[in-house]
Amino acid sequence: MKCLIRRTAFFFLVLAAVLAAGAAAGCAGEKSQSKPAESSDKEAGTEGIETEEGPKIGISIYRYDDTFMKLYRSELKQYLEETYHAQVIMRNAGGDQKEQDRQIREFIDSKCAGIIINPVEASAAGRIADTSSQAGIPLVFINSEPDESERNRWKEQHMAVSSVETDSKQAGTYQGEIILENPGKGDKNHDGILSYVMIKGEAGSDAARYRTEYSIKALTDAGVKTEELFSGTGNWNREEGKKLAAQALSTYGPRIDVIFCNNDAMANGALEAVEEAGMTPGKDVYLVGVDALQETVGYIKEGKIAGTVLNDHQGQSKTAADTLIRLIQGEDAETRYLVDYIKVTMNSTFHNWKGDD
């Protein structure tokens, strides 16, 4: 029975792992198929591929050089084209809200049937919703968490606007739980206090705020004493994550038990810094991220990163596209859809399972 339970758990976790690997494999495939998009990564601009039929959909992404949003936008475009034969006009806002506003006007002028926006600034959501609503064009927000009061307004004013989100509190909680699964509940140097470094995403982002807050809350809720040695904003970016980790390591070295990173790109950078500092990741220090990038899942298998949390860009793409199409067809939709995160801790799972077999 015990064995069966373990096998079931193993199956579920392997499923999570496969999902993660599949997501990442999608990344690699997309990358090679969409060279023109990659070459325009650095500048705000155009990437328009149109097919003969289906609704014209305008999509604006906050920045093309964001590793996770590369996966998301490729998946979204592919799903819209394959499922709805949509003509997708994809644009890079390049981190500039004014540029994104201009792109929205372009979508309206070119008579798009629907718009999908990954906002540069979360606070622009109300204005963007008004602009598309006044033009009579349904809108779906992705990868952002518009305020509840804003979402209520869409409903009250019968606006064809929806939002596909994830619960960043859930992601943070999972990160904390992943650390708790390690010997000494993550207190690697057994001094009774879990001393950590926090590498955060963009300032002002709810995802950064809640992943930070809830990862530590999971530890304190489990009765673990914590102390923050260092924290910094790495803007979701690998190089910045690496720089911050290097800074923390040079100041606090072996005192650090855990380096929490709000996403995997920064965790991959932090891992490089740990290795360059001559420490053994997974032994001298634990690392944890969010997204389940293929590279990170590889490090988890090698025991270098304790775990990550799958940010299901495939589920989010499908939900966003299906919702937009429903709105275009004049059907009702919720103002908010939540897509679950999934914990990915492959290395420890493989280990447990082998022991049981």
Q: How long a stretch of residues is the chain? A: 357
Q: How far is the CB of 75 from ligand BGC (least distance, A)?
A: 14
Tell me whether residue 87 or residue 262 sits nearer to ligand BGC (CB atom). 262
Closest CA to 239 of 207, 285, 270, 261: 270
226 is a contact residue toward ligand BGC (CB under 6 A): no
One-letter amino acid of 302: E
Quick one: which segment of 63-71, 174-182, 280-288, 329-337 binds ligand BGC (CB under 6 A)? 63-71
Q: Report the C-alpha gap between 60 and 42 in whole angstroms.
A: 15
Among 20, 207, 292, 306, binds ligand BGC (CB under 6 A): 207
Say if residues 267 and 245 touch (Cβ distance below 8 Å): no
Tell me whether residue 187 or residue 291 sits nearer to ligand BGC (CB atom). 291
Q: How far is the CB of 170 from ligand BGC (least distance, A)?
A: 12
Tell me whether residue 143 or residue 173 sits nearer to ligand BGC (CB atom). 143
Q: Report the C-alpha gap between 314 and 58 in whole angstroms.
A: 19
69 is a contact residue toward ligand BGC (CB under 6 A): yes
Among 215, 263, 316, 317, binds ligand BGC (CB under 6 A): 263
Using CB under 6 A as the binding criterion, the count of chain residues that bind ligand BGC stands at: 11
The DSSP annotation for 161-202 comes to: EEEEE--HHHHHHHHHHHHHTSGGGG-TT-SSSEEEEEEE-S
309 is a contact residue toward ligand BGC (CB under 6 A): no
Rg of the chain's alpha carbons, rounded to an integer? 21
Q: What is the 3-state secondary structure (H, E, C) of 275-308?
A: HHCCCCECCCEEEECCECCHHHHHHHHCCCCCEE
66 is a contact residue toward ligand BGC (CB under 6 A): yes
Q: How far is the CB of 280 from ligand BGC (least distance, A)?
A: 26
291 is a contact residue toward ligand BGC (CB under 6 A): yes
Among 60, 78, 132, 143, binds ligand BGC (CB under 6 A): 143
Tell me whether residue 129 or residue 290 sits nearer to ligand BGC (CB atom). 290
Say if residues 240 and 201 touch (Cβ distance below 8 Å): no
Find all residues with CB under 8 Å of 58, minimum gap 6, and list them. 89, 91, 103, 104, 106, 107, 110, 112, 114, 115, 116
Binding site for ligand BGC (CB under 6 A): 66, 68-69, 143, 207, 236, 263, 265, 290-291, 311
